[in-house]
Chain A
Amino acid sequence: MRAAIIIFPGSNCDRDMMVALERITGRRPALIWHKETSIDPVDMMILPGGFSFGDYLRCGALAARSPAIEAVIDHASRGGAVLGVCNGFQILLETGLLPGTLVRNADLKFVCRETSLAVQKTTASLFTDGLQDGQVLTIPVAHNEGNYFAPEDQLAMLEDNGQIALRYTEGSHPGPANPNGAAHDIAGIISENGRVMGMMPHPERAIGDGHHSADGRIFLQAALEGVAQ
């Protein structure tokens, strides 16, 4: 299993993802600077969290025009696996690889806390094949723009196609289950072919070893096994 993490100026979860993958697989992923125009073949490309280009203009908008993104789009068009976490999810929406948009949290504040996520296994996807439908994962979020929004017909299509992979659900944490007002409690979605996934929660911050939860490890492990098959 070979993975590559794309690093943009302002990415700040690239190392965290690298460490998490290395702990799980024993193998260090390739780190790709955004100015690279070609990326050696890998099984999964990962867009990490952070504030690429300061999130100036619009979250992810400038990163989506980076040279390396063309390689990511090529990879996806050949059916390659792509995971975008937080800012990486925002970038994927800006590239058009996934539908919809992420707007400011409903209460207009940054939010950093644990969330409970229900896995939705309504369609085949390498990201969820190794998980149980309805399985609840505790994984933290940390974002200012995580409020998933799409027109009603697009939301209906996502539901019909089974593209909603993770939904916020009730857990033990104080405060509302949905931390940002996302439509349909959407925390993560997949592409129609199940090969591209974007999610707001940070699995790399929940891999055990002193983290509050090890459920991020379960998620990443399942995805890595899924892509290896």
Chain B
Amino acid sequence: MSEQTSHPSVPEMGFADAQSMGLSAEEWQLILKRLERTPNQCELGIFSAMWSEHCSYKSSRRWLKTLPTEGPQVIQGPGENAGVVDIGDGLATVFKIESHNHPSFIEPYQGAATGVGGILRDVFTMGARPVALLNALRFGAPENDKTKHLVSGVVAGIGGYGNCIGIPTVGGEVNFHASYNGNILVNAMAVGLAHSDRIFYSAATGAGNPVIYVGAKTGRDGIHGATMASTEFSDETESKRPTVQVGDPFTGKLLMEACLELMAADAVLSIQDMGAAGLTSSSVEMASKGGLGMEIDLDLVPVREDGMSAYEIMLSESQERMLMVIDPSQAEIARAIFDKWDLDFMPIGRVTETDRLVLLKDGGVACDIPLAPLVDDAPEYDRPYQADDTQPQLTTAELATDSSVSNVLKSLIATSDIASRRWVYEQYDSHVMADTMAGPGGDAALIRVHGTTKGLAMSTDCTPRYVEADPFEGGKQAVAESYRNLCATGAKPLAVTNNLNFGNPEKQNIMAQIVGSVNGMGEACRGLDTPVVSGNVSLYNETDGVAIQPCPVIGMVGVIDDVSQAVGIGVTQAGTSLFIVGQETSSDDGWLGCSLYARSIAGRDGGAPPPVTIAEEARNGTFIREQIALQHISACHDISDGGLVVAVAEMVMAGTKGATIQMPETATLHGWAFGEDQGRYIVAVQNPDGFSLAATAASVPVALLGTVTDGAELKCGNEAPISVSDLRTVNEAFLPDLMR
């Protein structure tokens, strides 16, 4: 028991205190053993935050380690603020996705806004200028009485931050399912651009160098947010509203510009944003990554309110703050930059050689703990897992209905899953920065690399119903769908970031979802050469003991050398031929199990999801990219939710022409039309014979489906044609009707 570290006014802590901060009995005992004494409140708070699921990945780390993270394109993999990937010509893209699920349920506008702000800081901390934002959102059932309020607040919050700071929101996903009624998902992704030799890292360097606090002042908001994000929801959660942070995109913009200016001036050695667990995680991570220690005088930290304790200052999650280590000889240059932007710039401590985190307050020592246990000894669990029963494989005969294909199509495109997201994305500024070449509403978004002909392609994807039915196939599918979305524009997929949203990992079936889907993702990322370079895990997404549908979101980024050669999903040239790529004949039965058809038309949830064959995905995707680069394809869309007829309808609605497709005369017509078999695309090509020959040469199966026509209608076989404007009306109705 070392007496000199206990601050006279700080009460000694016991297990009950540890428990209230989310620590287990074993973790409490481990802290006592490592410290060889009882921690005070501030120290315990620091352990609790660093060992929270959110910061330590203690339940998932064992499995995350199995993911592929390397490749010639990878400059920086997981472990930094964001991943860094080479895009050639001395440039790199920097990206990451992160969840803000719990805060967004409690206070949707601020929860979503600060989710965007936080992920942007992760990207510009690395020295990259953010150029695009995406998101992945999951809400409860449309008819749930909270859904409308949550959709409205989250969408406004995402727009509120992104629009103001001036980074375009160019893509994302929005889906609805009753399992999210009490626990929505708000995942935000940011993509940036940097010079590949000008990346900034967080590891502290040089004992004696000053530690500088910059940005907004520290208040009492968000205290222990990381711990809140690591517990289940209950009826009491809404009383946690004060733990939700408040965003200030204006200060965020100033901080971004000041940091980028500072980096351009070469006046910073290491830098880390204060995200989850605020000053705690930033100081601990900077010092421990540098193999050094840090001493901070908490009386110097700029605060918004008087009388904040060491505990409160260290655990605050006030937004728009950064911690930096600078070369003392550059201090005046750095200070001048922050003065220009009217931001606080305060030396609050120094780098030490002690391997300890020492915090001073009110003339005493408020905390003196070794860094190693906080990071290296963070618990890692090998939690037991047991998968739910395997889902049966359902046949078309079991699911098919008597409706005409056209009527089913009109029903499907009106559902919450497929309906247009225009009501959402028109609230996001998708054009600011003037480099958006393809915004929301297509397969992948395309951002021109400023000042070059290159484009970055990006997409976020996950199909939770597949993951729930078969975590391994579902994990693969999330990667494969992102891969297809990028290939469909002509871009080469490079790497992914992932956001694993699951329920309580202490339950064996939930843990089995995590293990299965991470294994599936790993297989797909290896096979498609898209390593994982960053990510985030959000567990305990449960309400009163009921878990969400598992949602391991993939965010993928790729590159196209000449963005003017990219294609969109809309058909624009009458007379071009429509082909299915990835299918042997134009009459094959399709996989209806676990499809939207099964759920919305046949009224049957579940069933095994369509299997994903990674080798075929790679082969078909490569072929599509080559054909786009040769300018043989004028429109391309991957086949996903709703199957091939829905995909054709989407191409018609997004374009300026109509289409006629041939339908097979078969008993399994609905399987053919609405099956969700993987690895497929629909393309419009000028030269059908040449295209078929090229496909044969590449061993890619293709089948002629129909023709793009001048008429403003979609004609399926001998069924009465549907006007494109009717399709659009049906497709556009869901969100405006819901939100009215």
Give me the interface of A with B, judged by CB distance under 8 Å.
9-10, 12-13, 15-16, 19-20, 49-51, 53-56, 109-113, 140, 142, 144, 174-175, 202, 204-205, 207, 210-211
Q: Which of B442-492 contact A (CB under 8 A)?
A: 448
**Contact indicator B448/A12 (Cβ below 8 Å):** no
How far, in angstroms, from A109 to B739 measured CA to CA in the complex? 12
Q: Which chain A residue shows the least CB distance to B448? A: A210
Q: Which residues of A are found within 8 Å of B428, using beta-carbon distances? A: 110, 112
Q: Contacts A9-B254, A10-B250, A144-B163 given; indicate if A210 touches B437 (C-beta within 8 A).
A: yes
Contact A211 to B253, CB < 8 A, known contacts A50-B166, A54-B248, A144-B163 = no
Q: Please, which residue of chain B has its CB at the minimum distance from the CB of A35? A: B340
CB atoms of B166 and A113 under 8 A apart: no
Other A-B pairs beyond A10-B250, A20-B434, A210-B437, 16, CB < 8 Å: A9-B250, A12-B165, A12-B166, A12-B432, A19-B434, A50-B166, A53-B250, A109-B156, A109-B427, A110-B428, A111-B427, A113-B426, A140-B431, A174-B728, A210-B448, A211-B434
Complex CA–CA separation, A202 to B429 (angstroms): 12
Question: Is B342 in contact with chain A by the CB < 8 A criterion?
Answer: yes
B261 smallest CB distance to A (angstroms): 12
Instruction: Pick the 3 closest A-B CB pairs, nearest first.
Output: A12-B166, A54-B250, A16-B434
Task: Check A142 against B431 for contact (C-beta < 8 Å).
Answer: yes
Docked pose: A211 CA to B448 CA in angstroms:
10
Minimum CB distance partner of A20 in chain B: B434
Residues of chain A lying within 8 A (CB to CB) of residue B249: 51, 54
A51-B732 in contact given A111-B426, A112-B429, A205-B431 (Cβ < 8 Å): no
Give chain B residues whose Cβ lies under 8 Å from the Cβ of A15.
433-434
Q: Which of B165, B426, B437, B728 contacts A112 (CB 8 A)?
A: B426
User: Would you call B341 an interface residue if the criterion is a C-beta within 8 Å of the partner chain's C-beta atoms?
Assistant: yes
In the complex, B564 has a CB within 8 A of chain A: yes
Instruction: Tell me, yes or no, whether B164 is within 8 Å of chain A by CB.
Output: yes
Q: Note all chain A residues with C-beta closer than 8 A to B433.
A: 15-16
CB-based contact B341/A142 at 8 Å: no
Max count, chain A CB within 10 A of own CB: residue among B163, B253, B429, B448? B429
Partner of A54, one of B164, B427, B430, B434: B164
Min CB–CB distance B466 → chain A (angstroms): 31
| Cβ-based interface call for B551 (8 A) | no
Q: Which of B164, B434, B563 is A205 in contact with, Cβ under 8 Å?
A: B434
* A residues less than 8 Å from B728 (CB atoms): 174
Contacts A112-B429, A142-B429, A210-B563; is A10 near B253 (CB within 8 Å)?
yes
Once bound together, how far apart are the Cα atoms of A54 and B430, in whole Å? Answer: 19
Can you name the residue of chain B whose Cβ is closest to the Cβ of A216?
B434
Residue of A nearest to B434 (CB): A16
Looking at the assembled complex, report how far the CB atom of B448 sits from the nearest CB atom of chain A, in whole angstroms: 6
CA distance A205 to B429 in the complex (A): 12
A51 to B249, CA, bound (A): 9
When the two chains form their complex, are residues A202 and B159 in contact, meaning their CB atoms are under 8 A apart? no
Whole-angstrom distance between the alpha carbons of A9 and B251 in the complex? 9
Smallest CB separation, B447 vs chain A (Å): 10
| Given A51-B250, A174-B732, A142 contacting B432 (CB threshold 8 A) | yes
The answer, yes or no, to whether B422 is at the interface (CB within 8 Å) is yes
- List B136-168 residues whose CB lies under 8 Å from chain A: 156, 159-160, 163-166
- Residues of B bordering A, CB below 8 Å: 156, 159-160, 163-166, 248-251, 253-254, 341-342, 422, 425-434, 437, 448, 563-564, 728, 732
Task: Please give me the residue from chain B that is nearest to A142 by CB atom.
Answer: B429
The number of residue pairs between A and B whose CB atoms lie closer than 8 Å in the complex comes to 83
State in angstroms the CA–CA spacing of A56 and B248 once bound together: 10
Name the residue of chain B whose CB is nearest to the CB of A15.
B433
B432 to nearest A CB, angstroms?
6
Residue of chain A at shortest CB distance from B427: A110
Residue on B nearest A211 in the bound complex, by CB: B434
Report the nearest B residue to A51, measured CB to CB.
Answer: B164
Task: Please tell me if the beta carbons of A142 and B164 are within 8 angstroms of each other in the complex.
Answer: no
Most-contacted residue by chain A among B165, B431, B564 (CB, 10 A): B431
> In the complex, A111→B428 CA distance in Å?
7
Question: How far is B563's CA from A183's CA once the two chains are assembled, in angstroms?
Answer: 40
A16 — nearest CB in chain B belongs to which residue? B434
B426 to A56, Cβ gap below 8 A?
Answer: no
B429 touches A110 (CB 8 A): yes
Q: Known contacts A112-B428, A113-B426; decide if A204 and B253 are in contact (CB<8 Å).
A: no
A207–B434 Cα distance when bound, in Å, is 9
With a cutoff of 8 Å between Cβ atoms, the chain B residues found around residue A210 in the complex are: 437, 448, 563-564
Residues of A within 8 A of B160 (CB): 110
Closest residue on chain A to residue B342 by CB atoms: A9
Contact of A55 among B156, B164, B251, B426 (CB under 8 A): B164
For the complex formed, measure the closest distance between the CB of B132 and the CB atoms of chain A, giving whole angstroms.
14
A63 to chain B, nearest CB (A): 12
Q: How far is the CA of A9 from the CA of B164 in the complex (A)?
A: 11
The residue in chain A whose Cβ has the minimal distance to the Cβ of B253 is A10
Question: A9-B341, A210-B437 are contacts. A174–B431 as well, Cβ < 8 Å?
Answer: no
For the complex, what is the distance from the CA of A85 to the CA of B166, rounded to whole Å? 15
Counting chain A CB atoms within 10 Å of each CB, which of B428, B434, B448, B728 scores highest?
B434
Report chain B residues within 8 Å CB of A211: 434
A58 CB, min distance to chain B CBs, angstroms: 14
Q: List 13 A-B contacts (CB under 8 A).
A: A9-B250, A9-B253, A12-B166, A51-B249, A51-B253, A55-B164, A109-B156, A109-B427, A110-B160, A112-B426, A112-B428, A204-B434, A210-B563
The smallest C-beta distance from A22 to any residue of chain B, in angstroms, reads: 11
Q: For residue B437, which residues in chain A have a CB less than 8 angstroms away from its CB?
A: 210
Within the assembled complex, what's the spacing in Å between the Cα atoms of A137 and B661? 36
- Bound Cα distance A51, B247 (Å): 15
B675 to nearest A CB, angstroms? Answer: 30
Pair A112/B430 contact, Cβ less than 8 Å:
yes
Residues in chain B near residue A174, CB distance under 8 A: 422, 728, 732
Q: Are A10 and B431 in contact (CB under 8 A)?
A: no
Complex CA gap A140/B429 in Å reads: 10
A13 and B166 form a contact (CB under 8 A): yes
Chain B min CB distance to A117 (Å): 16
Q: How far is the CB of A151 from chain B (nearest CB, A)?
A: 30
Q: Find the A residue at minimum CB distance from B423.
A: A109
Contacting residues, chain B, for A111 (C-beta < 8 A): 426-427
Compute how far the CA of A204 lies from the CA of B432 in the bound complex, rounded to whole angstroms.
10
How distant is the Cα of A137 from the Cα of B248 in the complex, in angstroms? 35
List of A residues within 8 angstroms of B427 by Cβ: 109-112
Q: How far is the CB of B311 from chain A (nearest CB, A)?
A: 31
Question: Complex formed: what's the CA distance from A204 to B156 in Å?
Answer: 25
In the bound assembly, the distance between CA atoms of A132 and B136 in angstroms comes to 45
> Closest residue of chain A to B248, judged by CB?
A54
Q: How far is the CA of A207 from the CA of B425 in the complex (A)?
A: 22
Check B250 against A112 for contact (C-beta < 8 Å). Answer: no
Return chain A residues, CB-CB under 8 Å to B448: 210
Contacts of B732 in A (CB 8 A): 174
Chain A residues whose C-beta falls within 8 Å of the C-beta of B563 in the assembled complex? 210
Q: Is A13's CB under 8 angstroms from B432's CB?
A: yes
CA distance A207 to B254 in the complex (A): 28
The smallest beta-carbon distance between A122 and chain B, in angstroms, is 30
The CA of A112 and the CA of B158, in the complex, are separated in Å by 14
Question: Roughly how many angstroms separate A210 CA and B163 CA in the complex, as a whole number?
Answer: 21
Q: Which of B156, B253, B426, B564 sits near A12, CB closer than 8 Å?
A: B253
Query: Nearest-CB distance from A159 to chain B (Å)?
Result: 30
Taking CB atoms, residues of chain B closer than 8 Å to A19 are 434
> B215 → chain A, closest Cβ, in Å?
14
In the complex, the chain B residue whose C-beta lies closest to that of A207 is B434
Residues of B within 8 Å of A56, CB to CB, are 250
Is the beta-carbon distance between A10 and B164 smaller than 8 angstroms?
A: yes
- In the bound complex, CA of A207 to CA of B435 (Å): 11
In the assembled complex, the Cα of A120 lies from the Cα of B159 at a distance in Å of 32
Contacts of A12 in B (CB 8 A): 164-166, 253, 432
**Min CB–CB distance B476 → chain A (angstroms):** 34
Complex Cα distance A87/B164, Å?
11
Tell me, in angstroms, the Cα distance from A142 to B254 when the chains sit together: 21
> In whole angstroms, what is the CA distance A10 to B249 when docked?
9
- Give the docked Cα–Cα distance between A144 and B155 (Å): 13
Whether A142 and B564, one on each chain, are in contact in the complex, defined by CB atoms closer than 8 angstroms, is no
